[in-house]
Chains A and B, each alone.
Chain A
């Protein structure tokens, strides 16, 4: 038996798009097989077909050489397929044990037998070095631990084929290393792993083979030992990709943003901000690194005026703006690219045109005597669309919803930069975008810097922070761990700081 999983000529279409087009995909027993592709390339769809969440329109699936018909996730479970989803499927106020046994609870005298389940979970956890406490509640454990609970869930169900969907997106670099160790341990125990990712580094580090998908079609399957990052990127995007951003020396000027001992209460479940101080100068990009939920959202919302501060001050060009409204802050030179473009960046059912004037519709010349001057707004929108290369079916009249993610983001970036701000808050500006759009947005951010603007970049992608920033601030648990010069640090150091370690504590 050569292949444990074979998917033959799989086709799956959704209204208007063919997500998988005659895909052939084989996994050998005992290998880590990476599935590489940009967002929307069809890799998740393919795996959802394998896991039974979707039905293929055409094509066949063979497991261990036998043809199977997987119509729902329960069948996939029974066949030994397990999946760790990108967004964990855990009940926050249940214990680890309760989460793992949900759906297949052992029962003794009418009652769920958590004790025997716990001891079995502890046993599996020790065998694979997962270090999970079966009695802990999910809401009390770290994201990395939650992921290990998801892994345990699969192992508890005796899964042989483990699918990981973008498993490293939420982890610190150290947790990523830990995860890779766990994956190798799983392989040694005879499991097979399919790793969905768009991160080339991880593939090079851990995968045996890699299948690249672009536009719903397989570009090719390669042995990782025979290839390199550049080649994989080229297969993924379909053209040469420039890895090094052409970055000039920074030329910092006067201070634009100063945050002094800022404390902000967090929403329930996340850390607030504690006594946070930071300066951002004109002509530099300051990156804020940190694991999700460590106070980034509170900081950004406090700066732009969406959240009340508890104590401390925020200065823009030396003027105290702590008590100003968001509109006043925008008018004094702040701009904000929010991390969730659907929730906070755009009104999806408005046209691009309307979305572009959300912040300044009431000002001259967009409005005159209280009425919107549509002629001017239209001309202006056309200009932004052209300048920022926003591609849409019906130009300015297209609804924001109909645009692709990359073009939606370009529209937001266009709107924010167009106001010629002194301070640009860019929160996860490239989340979920393909390589082409990422390159474009990175270029625009650098352009702002070179024009002497202050750019404050908040991102969960450490590579993005390292590539773009001149200085890097690290936040952990709502506190500033430290600020380092980008030129003098590396991923490892930042990673340790992201876990709360002070600079220099570990050599």
Chain B
């Protein structure tokens, strides 16, 4: 009974985890370079709109490729949109929190305006989402095969691949070493000849691409429709970033925790064991745990040291 339940829930939990994971990973790049990105919510919303709009426009022509075109377009366009945040924070030395709030507000307004303009209703629907596939051979592995490799989305594997790549990039390559230095001690990076401004621009750009991809992934796997809100997913990704202590594998754990807990809360009404618990407890559970985790981990926070500080060459 319990085992069956887990088998049933798992694909949904993963599907919910993945958009959070990639968005949070985007936040990781930005914040490890020293730029706070609370605009993740807005960037994700933008990704949802671009993904839904592009897919709905091209799916008549390319029924199977449309979802991939939509994901790519969302990543590229939202990366460009994130340049606004980079310009404000890096070039103009603006307050990074305020700039993030502005990004959220602009995204909320622009997407709804454009959606109304193009469809009249404010909602953008897509007909075909990402198909679920079962991976040959791997799905035959006992337990794991059924949990991970049955009824899975190709996008899930793409994003897990990006996670592995991102870890490699951050910890093994020259780019990663320099990016992390910019977030910890930008003066050290500068005096070693690293262009702090350029690194931060690239990091915010990557963060936009990831969040855009996250938004579009949510559209093609879970919702199937853009309806003018990201419903706090971007903020949840931000919480996962902190909960995961600014580390890629920590983020994976945190987002999976959110994904699983949210899924449990969503389906609780139809599962007798869970239906006994009042819905409000299940729904608030992940957030309460996050608050507790943040309180407990605040003493030993691994936040990048220079986070939130505009880089000022003259200040030493």
Contacts and interface: CB of A to CB of B under 8 A. Distances in A.
B193 A104 contact: yes
Given A77-B193, A91-B180, A102-B178, 7 more contacts: A85-B316, A89-B185, A89-B188, A91-B184, A91-B185, A99-B188, A112-B174
B193 A73 contact: yes
Interface residues of B, number: 21
B173 interface: yes
Contact of A102 (B172, B188, B316): B188
B191 A91 contact: no
Contacts of A104: 192-193
A110 interface: yes
B174 to A, nearest CB: 5
B187 interface: yes
B181 A91 contact: yes
Interface of B: 172-174, 177-178, 180-181, 184-185, 187-194, 299-300, 305, 316
B192 A102 contact: yes
Contact of B181 (A73, A102, A111): A102
Nearest to A111: B172
B173 to A, nearest CB: 6
Q: Which among B172, B174, B190, B299 has the highest number of chain A CB atoms within 10 Å?
A: B174
B172 A112 contact: yes
Contacts of A107: 173-174
A69 interface: no
A112 B191 contact: no
B185 A92 contact: yes
Interface string A75-117: 0010000010101011111100011001111010011100000
A151 to B, nearest CB: 14
Contacts of B190: 73, 89
Contacts of A93: 184
Contacts of B184: 91-94
Contacts of B192: 89, 102-104, 153
A390 B191 CA distance: 38
A507 interface: no
Nearest to B183: A91
B103 to A, nearest CB: 28
A74 interface: yes
B305 A102 contact: no
Contact of A87 (B173, B189, B299, B316): B316
Nearest to B187: A89
A256 B136 CA distance: 83
A94 to B, nearest CB: 7
Contacts of B181: 91, 94, 102
Nearest to A44: B316
B246 to A, nearest CB: 11
A89 B194 CA distance: 13
A17 interface: no
A102 B173 contact: no
A90 B189 CA distance: 8
Interface string A149-177: 00001000000000000000000000000
A205 interface: no
B299 A92 contact: no
Nearest to A100: B192
Contacts of A506: none
A86 to B, nearest CB: 8
Q: Which among B177, B191, B194 has the highest number of chain A CB atoms within 10 Å?
A: B191
A1 interface: no
Contacts of A83: 191
Given A85-B316, A89-B188, A94-B184, A74 B173 contact: no
Contacts of B189: 91, 102-103
A268 interface: yes
B194 A103 contact: yes
Contact of A98 (B177, B300, B305, B316): B177
Task: Give the 6 A-B residue pairs with the shortest CB-CB distance, closest first.
Answer: A103-B192, A89-B188, A103-B193, A74-B193, A102-B192, A91-B185
A403 B227 CA distance: 58
B185 A73 contact: no
A74 B192 CA distance: 7
Contacts of B187: 89
Contacts of A110: 172-173
A153 B193 CA distance: 13
A381 B111 CA distance: 59
A150 B193 CA distance: 15
Contacts of A268: 299-300
A93 B302 CA distance: 10
A103 B190 CA distance: 9
B196 to A, nearest CB: 11
Contacts of B178: 102-103
B185 A90 contact: yes
Contacts of B172: 110-112
